[in-house]
Amino acid sequence: MEKTVFTQEEIEQIKVLQDKYNTLGVQLVQLKLASKAGKEYLQSLQEQEQLVEQQIFETNSEEKELASKLDAKYGEGSLNVESGEFTPNS
């Protein structure tokens, strides 16, 4: 069997393609890692968002409870928070 030898140009072309595959493989791994990190970050943001929404709901409940107590004590009206002055509804 006779040996076939590729030309230097053909060898260089093959090496260029191998380098491209290696570079693309590294890029793909980097993108997958970044994507995973991004998904984890997004999940963390969504959890924080849910926590803040829950706190808003709880604060709204506290506000309604306080308003109910104050209405029972002073009647309906408006309050100037700066001066503390309450003006009852007529």
Q: pLDDT tens digits for 45-70?
A: 999 999 999 999 999 999 999 999 99
Band (pLDDT 50/70/90 cuts) for residue 90 is confident
**Identity (one letter) of the amino acid at 87?**
T
Q: pTM to 2 decimals? A: 0.63
Q: What is the pLDDT of residues 16-44, one digit of tens each?
A: 999 999 999 999 999 999 999 999 999 99
Q: Which residues pair with 78 in a beta bridge?
A: 87
Number of H helices, E strands in the chain: 1, 2
